[in-house]
Amino acid sequence: MDKQKIGFIGAGNMSRSLIGGLISSGVKHSQIFAADPDSDTRENLKNDFNIQSFADNQDLLKTCDVIVLAVKPQLLKAVTAELPESKNKLFITIAAGIRSENLDQWLGSGQAIVRAMPNTPALVLSGASGLFANTKVSEQQKELAESILRSVGLTIWVNDEKQLDIVTALSGSGPAYFFMVMEAMEKAAEAMGLPADTARLLAIQTGFGASKLALEVDEDPATLRKQVTSPGGTTEQAINVFEQQGLTELFKQAMTAARDRAEQLAKELAS
C-alpha cells in the first residue's frame, strides 16, 4: 500500500474511521482522498486529516487506484451510474445488501469488487469486518482491501457471498445486541437499588472485560462461561433463568430475522 491512492466516495462516520485508521497505520496523507458534495464536510476532512477532497466523484475516480464506496445502499445505484466506466480499479463497497453482481452491472462489467461489512466499533478502531471478493479481484488487491479494513479492526474473508448476510446479522448488527444487554443489566441493577451511573459503568466495563478476556485467552466462550458458573452459586441461578427462558433460541430467531432482512434488501435494491 506504499504507492496506492485510496479514495472514499462519501465522507460519513465509517469513511472517517477508515481514513483515521489508515493514517494511524502509517499510510501517507497524500495517498488518501475523499469526495463529498458538501463543502463544509470537505473542509472538515482537510482540517481533521490533512487530505485532499473533491466535490465531483469523477475527479476522485481519475485520481485513485482504490475506490471505497461509502454511501447508503439506497443511493449506491445512482452514485455509480454517474461514474464513467473504468478498468484496473479496485472497488470496495461497505453498503449493506448490494450484491457484487449488481454493483458490477452498474459500474460496467468486469470490475474488481470487494464487499465489506464493517461494524460501528470501527469508529474506535475495534471493528469486525466480513469481506467477500468477486472473481476479478487479484490476490494483491485482496491484500490491499484487507489492509484497509484491518486498519480499524479484525477482518474475516468469506468464500460464499451469501454468508455476508449472516455476517451482517452477527457482527454488523451485533453491537446493538450487546448494547441492549448492557442496557438491560443497567436497568435491572438500578431497579434493585444501585445508582444509575454506578450501574451503567459496571455494566459497560463488564461487557468490555468479558470481550477482552474472550479475545485474549485460549478458551471458547462456552468454557469461559462454565468457569464463571460455580455449582450452586449466584451465576448459576442467573444462567438457569436465561436457559429456562430460551435465550439461545431467542438469539437464533433474532439473527435469522436480521439475515432474512438482509436478503430481502438485496432483492429490493437490485431493481
Sheet holding 153-157, edge to edge: 52-54, 32-35, 6-9, 66-69, 90-93, 112-117, 127-133, 153-157
Per-residue pLDDT reduced to its tens digit, 188-233: 999 999 999 999 999 999 999 999 999 999 999 999 999 999 999 9
CATH class for the region spanning 174-265: mainly alpha
Average pLDDT across the chain, whole number: 95
Summarised one tens digit per residue, pLDDT across range 135-179 is 999 999 999 999 999 999 999 999 999 999 999 999 999 999 999
Query: DSSP letters of the chain?
Result: --S--EEEES-SHHHHHHHHHHHHTT--GGGEEEE-S-HHHHHHHHHHH--EEESSHHHHHHH-SEEEE-S-HHHHHHHHHTSPP-SS-EEEE--TT--HHHHHHHH-SS-EEEEEE--GGGGGT-EEEEEEE-TT--HHHHHHHHHHHHTTEEEEE-SSTTHHHHHIIIIISHHHHHHHHHHHHHHHHHHTT--HHHHHHHHHHHHHHHHHHHHHSSS-HHHHHHHH--TTSHHHHHHHHHHHTTHHHHHHHHHHHHHHHHHHHHHHHH-
Architecture of domain 6-161: 3-Layer(aba) Sandwich (3.40)
Backbone angles phi, psi at 119, to 5 degrees: -135, 170
Find, among 180, 173, 237, 225, the residue nearest to 204 by Cα. Answer: 180
What length does the chain have? 271
- Relative orientation angle of helices 13-24 and 39-49, to the nearest 10 degrees: 20
Please state, for a pLDDT cut of 70, what percent of the chain lies above it. 99
CA distance 92 to 77: 14
The model carries a pTM of 0.91
Sign of CA dihedral 194, 232, 214, 17: negative
Whether 156 and 129 have beta carbons less than 8 Å apart is answered as yes
pLDDT tens by residue, 30-50: 999 999 999 999 999 999 999
Q: Of 48, 22, 75, 244, whose CA–CA distance to 7 is shortest?
A: 22
What is the residue extent of each domain of the chain? 6-161, 174-265
- Residues 78-135: pLDDT tens digits? 999 889 888 889 999 998 889 999 999 999 889 999 999 999 999 999 999 999 999 9
